[in-house]
C-alpha cells in the first residue's frame, strides 16, 4: 500500500499578502521547523534568515514553549476575558511590564500587531476624552509606515498599496509625517544615519496647520521594518518626543517588530533611550508559538481613563481572545527563555558581526544601499526598468531553493534572523545572498 500523501488542493485558500496565482503555479511549502531551520515539503533544509516574519526570536519549536502550551491546553483551554480572568493573564502582564520603560506598566493584551495598533489608537482617544479634551481626535502617522491591517492601522500607515483599495473609508482626521528614507545623504550607513534629525520638525508644521488642541497622538515605528528597514537618524526620535511632549500629544511607538530583543534590548525605546507614552507589541512576545500581542500604557493614561468613570466599564474595548490561556502560557515560557539564555544581550553582541556581513554586499551587482541596526538589515536593490520588485522576488526564490530564507519588500531584501543564530550561520546567510546577487540580472 502506498504511503504517499494525496496531492493538496491549493484552490480554496486565499493567501494573505501573496501573489496567489503565481504562488499556486509554483508553491513553496514548509512542513517542519527546528531551531534555526525550516524543512520544506520536498525535504530540503532552509536557514531562517527572517525569524519567520520577524517573530520567532528564540528559534523554532522550543520545547519549553511547546510543553507550556500543551500543559495549559489540558488544564484550561480557554477563559473569558470580560468580567472574569485567569491567574496567568496577570502573571504575563507583570512579566511584560517589567521589560518596559519606567512607567509603561499597564498592559492590555491583544492577539496581533494590527489589534495592538488599533487598541493603542483607541486608548489615546479615550485618554483625551477622559481629560475633557475630546476634541483631540486627529492622529498622525508617517509616510512608508506600516501599522497592520485594521482600519485604524491602515489609516495612520503610509504604504500606498495597502491604503489605495480602502482609501474612501479610512479614518478622517489623519495626517502623515515625511518618511526618513534619504539615500542621497545616508546610503550605506552603519546603524543610525547621521543626517535627518530635522525631518522630525515636520511635526511642528502639522501642529501649526491643525492646531495642537486637535491632535491626539503620533504613531511611528522606531525602526520601520516592513517598508524596507528604515533606521531612525540620530536625534530624530528624541526630537519627536520633545515636540509631542511640548503640545500634550501622545507618542506611540509601534514595536511589533522591534520589541523582545531585535535591536539588542527589550525594546527599541530602551535601545534608543527615548520613552513614548504607549508601546505596541506582538510577534516576539510569544515567540510566535501562539498568536499574541499587547499594548504597554503609561500608568497616568490608565489612571485618567479609569478615574473618568465612577462605576462600571471604563473602556469599551477588548477581544474574545485577549490574554488567551495558551497565549499567556507561551508568553511566560518565551520570556523565561529570553531571560535565561540572555538572548537580548546575545543579539547585541552579534550585531557588529551581523553589520559587517550585511555591508559585505556593498559593491555586489545592483546593490544601491545597505542599512542595519541590531540583528536586522535591509539590502536595497536597483529596480528593473518597468518591473519594480521583480529582481528582489527572483533573489528570494533562488535563495529559498538554495536553503536560505530571506524576505523582500519592494526592491529591498530584509534580514531578521532568530536571536540564536550562530556566527557561521550569519556568514552562510549573506554568502548565499552574495552568490545569488551575482547571478541575477
Cell 527572483 sits on residue: 394
The answer to whether 137 touches 125, Cβ cutoff 8 Å, is: yes
Q: Are residues 383 and 421 in the same domain?
A: yes
Q: Give me the CATH number covering residue 351.
A: 3.90.1150.10
In the chain, the percentage of residues whose pLDDT exceeds 70 is: 99
Consecutive H or E run containing 40: strand 37-40
Q: Are residues 87 and 51 in the same domain?
A: no
Task: Give me 308's grid cell.
Answer: 473618568
Does position 200 have pLDDT exceeding 60, yes or no? yes
Q: How far is CA 179 from CA 74, 156, 157, 200, in A?
A: 48, 13, 11, 9
**Position 47 in a domain:** yes
Report d(CA 277, CA 273) in Å as an integer. 13
Q: Print burial letters for 356-395: b (CB count within 10 Å at least 16), e (below 16).
A: ebbbebeebebbebbbbbbbbbbbbbebbeeeebebbebb
DSSP 248-302: T-EEEEE-TTTTTTTTSSS-HHHHHT---SEEEE-GGGGTTSS--EEEEE-HHHH
Q: Are residues 74 and 88 in the same domain?
A: yes
Task: For 396-427, write each residue's pLDDT tens digit.
Answer: 999 999 999 999 999 999 999 999 999 999 99
**Position 10 in a domain:** no
Q: Which of 286, 310, 340 is the last residue of a domain?
A: 340
Report d(CA 220, CA 237) in Å as an integer. 9
Q: Give me the CATH number covering residue 315.
A: 3.40.640.10
- Is the pTM of the predicted complex or chain greater than 0.75? yes
Q: Which of 295, 325, 340 is the last residue of a domain?
A: 340
Task: For 259-289, write each residue's pLDDT tens digit.
Answer: 999 999 999 999 999 999 999 999 999 999 9
The answer to whether 431 touches 359, Cβ cutoff 8 Å, is: no
φ, ψ for residue 57 (rounded to 5)? -70, -30
CB neighbours of residue 84 within 10 Å: 7
Q: Are residues 310 and 350 in the same domain?
A: no
Does position 209 have pLDDT exceeding 90, yes or no? yes
- pLDDT, averaged across the chain: 97
Q: Are residues 179 and 314 in the same domain?
A: yes
Indicate the SS3 state at residue 240.
helix
Question: Which band of pLDDT confidence, cut at 50, 70 and 90, is reported for residue 1?
Answer: very low
Q: Are residues 177 and 303 in the same domain?
A: yes
In the chain, the percentage of residues whose pLDDT exceeds 90 is: 98
Report d(CA 79, CA 76) in Å as an integer. 7
Task: For 23-71, write each residue's pLDDT tens digit.
Answer: 999 999 999 999 999 999 999 999 999 999 999 999 999 999 999 999 9
The answer to whether 347 touches 87, Cβ cutoff 8 Å, is: no
Question: Which band of pLDDT confidence, cut at 50, 70 and 90, is reported for residue 3?
Answer: low
Q: Are residues 232 and 156 in the same domain?
A: yes
Cell 492622529 sits on residue: 139
pLDDT of residue 4: 62
Task: Give me 179's grid cell.
Answer: 518618511
Can you give the residue range of the structural domain that contains 163?
A: 66-340
Does position 376 have pLDDT exceeding 60, yes or no? yes
Greatest alpha-carbon pair distance for the chain in Å reads 76
* Residue 424 CB-density burial (10 A; 0-12 exposed, 13-18 middle, 19+ buried): exposed
Does position 310 have pLDDT exceeding 90, yes or no? no
In sequence order, what E strands does 185-239 have?
A: 215-220
Q: What is the CA radius of gyration of the chain?
A: 22
The predicted model gives 167-172 an average pLDDT of 95
Does position 314 have pLDDT exceeding 50, yes or no? yes
Report d(CA 367, CA 422) in Å as an integer. 25
Question: Which band of pLDDT confidence, cut at 50, 70 and 90, is reported for residue 2?
Answer: very low
The answer to whether 226 touches 146, Cβ cutoff 8 Å, is: yes
Q: Are residues 252 and 142 in the same domain?
A: yes
286: nearest Cα among 112, 30, 416, 91? 112
Q: Are residues 251 and 361 in the same domain?
A: no
The predicted model gives 104-126 an average pLDDT of 98
Q: Which of 340, 375, 392 is the last residue of a domain?
A: 340
Consecutive H or E run containing 208: helix 202-210
The predicted model gives 12-20 an average pLDDT of 96
Amino acid at each position: 500500500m502506498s504511503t504517499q500523501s494525496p496531492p493538496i488542493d491549493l484552490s480554496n485558500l486565499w493567501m494573505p499578502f501573496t501573489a496567489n496565482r503565481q504562488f499556486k503555479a509554483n508553491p513553496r511549502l514548509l512542513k517542519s521547523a527546528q531551531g534555526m531551520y525550516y524543512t520544506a515539503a520536498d525535504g530540503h533544509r532552509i536557514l531562517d534568515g527572517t525569524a519567520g516574519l520577524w517573530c520567532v526570536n528564540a528559534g523554532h519549536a522550543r520545547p519549553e514553549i511547546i510543553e507550556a502550551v500543551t500543559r495549559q491546553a489540558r488544564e484550561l483551554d480557554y477563559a473569558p476575558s470580560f468580567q472574569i480572568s485567569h491567574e496567568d493573564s496577570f502573571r504575563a502582564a507583570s512579566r511584560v511590564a517589567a521589560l518596559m520603560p519606567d512607567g509603561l506598566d499597564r498592559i492590555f493584551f491583544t492577539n496581533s500587531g494590527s489589534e495592538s495598533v488599533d487598541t493603542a489608537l483607541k486608548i489615546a482617544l479615550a485618554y483625551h476624552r477622559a481629560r475633557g479634551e475630546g476634541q483631540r481626535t486627529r492622529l498622525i502617522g508617517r509616510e512608508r509606515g506600516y501599522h497592520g491591517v485594521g482600519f485604524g492601522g491602515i489609516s495612520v500607515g503610509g504604504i500606498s498599496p495597502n491604503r489605495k483599495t480602502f482609501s474612501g473609508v479610512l479614518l478622517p482626521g489623519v495626517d502623515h509625517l515625511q518618511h526618513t528614507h534619504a539615500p542621497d545623504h545616508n546610503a550605506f550607513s552603519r546603524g543610525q544615519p547621521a543626517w535627518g534629525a530635522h525631518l522630525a520638525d515636520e511635526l511642528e508644521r502639522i501642529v501649526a496647520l491643525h492646531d495642537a488642541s486637535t491632535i491626539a497622538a503620533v504613531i511611528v515605528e522606531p525602526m520601520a521594518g516592513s517598508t524596507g528597514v528604515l533606521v531612525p537618524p540620530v536625534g530624530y526620535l528624541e526630537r519627536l518626543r520633545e515636540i509631542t511632549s511640548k503640545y500634550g500629544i501622545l507618542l506611540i511607538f509601534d514595536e511589533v517588530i522591534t520589541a523582545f530583543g531585535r535591536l539588542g534590548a527589550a525594546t527599541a525605546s530602551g535601545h534608543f533611550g527615548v520613552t513614548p507614552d504607549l508601546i505596541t507589541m506582538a510577534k516576539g512576545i510569544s515567540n510566535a508559538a501562539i498568536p499574541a500581542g499587547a499594548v504597554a500604557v503609561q500608568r497616568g493614561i490608565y489612571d485618567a481613563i479609569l478615574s473618568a468613570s465612577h462605576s462600571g466599564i471604563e473602556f469599551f474595548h477588548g477581544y474574545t481572545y485577549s490574554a488567551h490561556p495558551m497565549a499567556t502560557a507561551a508568553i511566560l515560557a518565551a520570556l523565561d527563555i529570553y531571560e535565561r539564555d540572555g538572548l537580548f544581550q546575545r543579539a547585541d553582541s552579534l550585531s557588529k558581526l551581523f553589520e559587517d556581513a550585511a555591508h559585505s554586499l556593498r559593491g555586489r551587482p545592483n546593490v544601491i544601499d545597505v542599512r542595519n541596526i541590531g540583528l536586522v538589515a535591509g539590502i536595497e536593490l536597483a529596480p528593473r526598468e518597468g518591473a519594480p520588485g521583480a529582481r528582489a522576488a527572483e533573489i528570494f526564490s533562488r535563495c529559498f531553493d538554495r536553503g536560505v530564507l530571506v524576505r523582500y519588500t519592494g526592491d529591498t531584501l530584509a534580514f531578521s534572523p532568530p536571536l540564536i543564530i550562530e556566527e557561521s550561520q550569519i556568514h552562510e546567510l549573506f554568502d548565499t545572498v552574495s552568490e545569488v546577487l551575482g547571478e541575477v540580472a
